[in-house]
Structure 1
Amino acid sequence: MGKTFRKLIGLPVNVRAENPCGPDKWQLMDQLTQAAETYELSHRTLTVLQALLTFLPSRHIPTGPAGIVFASNQRLSERLHGMPESTLRRHLAQLLRAGIVSRHDSPNRKRFARNRGGEITAAFGFNLAPMVHQADAIGHAAGKAQARQEELLALRDEVLMLRAELMRQTGHETELAELAKLLRRKSDEAELQSIVEKLKNLLESGEETVLVAEETSTAYIQNERHIQDSDIIHFDSEGQGAHTSDTFKCQRALSADKVQAVSLSQVLTACQEHQYFFPESLRTWSDLERISDKIAPMLGIDQPVMIEAKRIMGAEAAAVTVLCMLEKANAIRSPGAYLRRLTQMAHDGAFTLQPMLMALANRQIVS
């Protein structure tokens, strides 16, 4: 046995394919998984096929009765960790329709086998021989599926590169937000090609400027000037810095109970996780904003989402929010959606930084 195995390993692939034992069943399973879309097989259906293959003791699918799986639905269900028999029957029917397996029924449609001298002489159940007969077709379909997947990945990379270029231009915030939604789902080749063309058209008609709204840029410059005077910033009910209220007009009148003061030292005391990534000292609000801009993409927050947070909350408040999110990153399933929610709350006047910072500070005291 070992000698035969060594001989096969030393032979070219086309010669090894002539192995009388037939193709490796798990290699066929891998190829069929790659070509699942071609054969219209779901991952659950493939799991059922995998369970059928486990009833064959050898790594190849024997011809004749030895290649027939005669396990009952109950045994199959047990091997599939309790899959309901109704679900099992549905997936078995799909394998039959795809021509991957065939039925070899007894007169009463019961599944069983007869042995003679330790060998199976007759078996009734699911015949896996069609899988061997289609080995070449399965391999060809798997190759095509892999090539198609590589093309899709190349197109997606092109979309991401064009998107990065578009982020350096102004006036495309809406398109970038829509693009972020499109990239979250699985797009086919035609959709990706369409996205590439649209992005190229936008880039050809755009201007090479930084992707931030004009009023945000103005507020940011004023924030920078204010930072040099004090490390304490007052945030209003909209999340905007009080010192930028002349640039951003609040949508509602401010009330005294919705004005809050946040100091840089308070933020740095509550938020320390960033030091593991950026150990340099943060001396100004400008330093904090710069670090938060680097942390946001690390958390998976898209740039359009961060820009909108800065526009609604103010640059400093958005930066503090990102640092707070980093502190509890393990508990946040979708940081981008989380920040969008906080941004909406800030827009509605229902978000303040103090409770978030106090909760983090109290957690450090407890620990």
Structure 2
Amino acid sequence: MEGPDKWALLDRLTIAADSFELSHRTLTVLKALLSFLPSRHIPDGPAGVVFASNARLSDRLHGMPESTLRRHLAQLVRLGLLVRRDSPNRKRFARNRGGEIASAFGFDLSPLVLQAELIERAASEAEAQQERLLAQRDRILVLRHALIRQEGNRALSDEAGRLLRRKPEAETLSQLEAQLRAALEAVESGALECEPSAPCLSLSTVQVSASDSQNERHIQDSDKSYLNSERTHRSKTPDVKTADNCKPSQEEAGVTLADVLETCKEARSFFPERLRDWRDLVRVGDQIAPMLGIDQPVLIEAKRNMGAESAAVTVLCLLEKAATIRSPGAYLRRLTQMACEGRFTLSPMLMALRNRGNCQLTT
């Protein structure tokens, strides 16, 4: 009688590995044992006994030391996934009769067949748990982005980002989700004051107590004015006011587009086409920012305080030093805060990159 497909069963057992306290190495040993069965299905009786020696098993495991092999075999026996059938002299061998295996001594894989339903159930539960974790992570990401957008608890949003890069358990994720919800509620109720490390924006710039839809409209409207600043500059119409009219254009600040393109060469690796004007540079900066792990709300805030052109140049500078900057998003936040305080200029940063003698971006 044929049992289940051995490889399909191994796949399900791999998914349910945590339920059976199986390590990757132990599963590799089990896979080697299954490879000695000539058929794809696990047979019952003596035909389901693997009688390969430790030396042959070690060879199939690419030279695994026999002491390590014996430890993993003992773990499989202890978990009841296989049974050891010892001969009187503890040698492993099989006796044939009529072209079939009549008796065999070695590792009996029939317990895998008997536990097939248990393995399938454990794998299904593991998959369901994984889906719940993914859904929980998605909710936390949404809450974190909302908290960043509304200028909420910055330390908590940073910690959430670090935590999500690991593999936290469900309980940890639940606690984090509750903390993020509480922080958002505090922001919406106006109870959360501006943190010392965060850019303290006036109510005319950001209305913390406004609803999500109002904040979203504010960001979109402001973002349009950034992109329109280039058109306003070109037309040289002094009567037209934009969100950036209090900030000098890049060329007025002593930074030309040619200077930027000559200094920030890494962007050409991703966008080899020629950048003709500042609008093209802003577009490229918008595309590079997520590649560096910079969240959209952080980029929008940089545009609000620096201007769209300065923010784009800053992003290209961060790309130049991506190998030495641990968190480009946090770095851009700090520069945004300096811009909010009137202490940010592009020229020293570009000069440091041109000289290459100074390995840090300075302002």
The TM-score with structure 2 as length reference comes to 0.68
Amino acid at match of 1:199: L
Answering whether residue 28 of structure 2 is matched by residue 47 of structure 1, we say yes
Q: Report what 1:271 is aligned to.
A: 265
Answering whether residue 165 of structure 2 is matched by residue 172 of structure 1, we say no
Answering whether residue 117 of structure 2 is matched by residue 136 of structure 1, we say yes
Answering whether residue 73 of structure 2 is matched by residue 92 of structure 1, we say yes
Question: Counterparts of 2:310 and 2:114 in 1: how far apart (Å)?
Answer: 65
Question: Counterparts of 1:323 and 1:203 in 2: how far apart (Å)?
Answer: 32
Amino acid at match of 1:166: L
Answering whether residue 247 of structure 2 is matched by residue 225 of structure 1, we say yes
Amino acid at match of 1:142: A
For the 8 Å contact 2:15–2:126, the answer to whether it is kept is yes
Give the alignment of 1:1-367 within 5 angstroms: 20-207=1-188, 213-214=199-200, 225-230=247-252, 232-233=254-255, 263-269=256-262, 270-271=264-265, 273=267, 276=270, 281=275, 283-284=277-278, 288=281, 291-301=284-294, 319-320=312-313, 322-323=315-316, 326=319, 337=326, 339=328, 353-354=350-351, 356-357=353-354
Amino acid at match of 1:79: R
The TM-score with structure 1 as length reference comes to 0.67
For the 8 Å contact 1:168–1:208, the answer to whether it is kept is no
Q: Report what 1:248 is aligned to.
A: none
Shift of 1:53: 0.7
How many aligned positions are there? 300
For the 8 Å contact 1:68–1:123, the answer to whether it is kept is yes
Indicate how the Cα distance of structure 1 residues 355 and 78 shifts in structure 2: closer, same or farther if over 3 A, else same: farther
For the 8 Å contact 2:295–2:329, the answer to whether it is kept is no
Q: Report what 1:259 is aligned to.
A: none
Question: Counterparts of 1:215 and 1:289 in 2: how far apart (Å)?
Answer: 23
Runs of at least 5 residues in structure 1 that lack an aligned partner in the other structure: 1-19, 234-262, 360-367
Shift of 1:314: 12
Indicate how the Cα distance of structure 1 residues 38 and 168 shifts in structure 2: closer, same or farther if over 3 A, else same: same
Q: Report what 1:249 is aligned to.
A: none
SS state of the match for residue 61, structure 1?
strand
Shift of 1:272: 6.0
Once structures 1 and 2 are overlaid, which stretch shifts more, 224-233 or 99-108?
224-233
Shift of 1:292: 2.9
* C-alpha distance after superposition, 1:121-156 (max 9, x if no partner): 222111111000001111111111111111111111
Shift of 1:52: 1.0
SS state of the match for residue 214, structure 1?
coil
For the 8 Å contact 1:317–1:353, the answer to whether it is kept is no
SS state of the match for residue 30, structure 2?
helix
* C-alpha distance after superposition, 1:238-284 (max 9, x if no partner): xxxxxxxxxxxxxxxxxxxxxxxxx5313323426368569684634
Indicate how the Cα distance of structure 1 residues 181 and 128 shifts in structure 2: closer, same or farther if over 3 A, else same: same
Amino acid at match of 2:9: L
Amino acid at match of 1:66: A
Question: Counterparts of 1:85 and 1:145 in 2: how far apart (Å)?
Answer: 32
Among all aligned residue pairs of Structure 1 and Structure 2, give the percentage whose two residues are the same amino acid: 54
Question: Counterparts of 2:251 and 2:321 in 1: how far apart (Å)?
Answer: 31
Indicate how the Cα distance of structure 1 residues 191 and 231 shifts in structure 2: closer, same or farther if over 3 A, else same: same
SS state of the match for residue 149, structure 2?
coil
* C-alpha distance after superposition, 1:160-218 (max 9, x if no partner): 11111111111421111111111111111111111111111111111499996237999
Indicate how the Cα distance of structure 1 residues 62 and 267 shifts in structure 2: closer, same or farther if over 3 A, else same: same
SS state of the match for residue 95, structure 2?
strand
SS state of the match for residue 226, structure 1?
coil
For the 8 Å contact 2:286–2:312, the answer to whether it is kept is yes
SS state of the match for residue 103, structure 1?
strand
Indicate how the Cα distance of structure 1 residues 171 and 151 shifts in structure 2: closer, same or farther if over 3 A, else same: closer
Q: Report what 1:238 is aligned to.
A: none
Shift of 1:98: 1.4
SS state of the match for residue 4, structure 2?
coil
* Superposition CA RMSD, Å: 4.2
Indicate how the Cα distance of structure 1 residues 75 and 340 shifts in structure 2: closer, same or farther if over 3 A, else same: farther
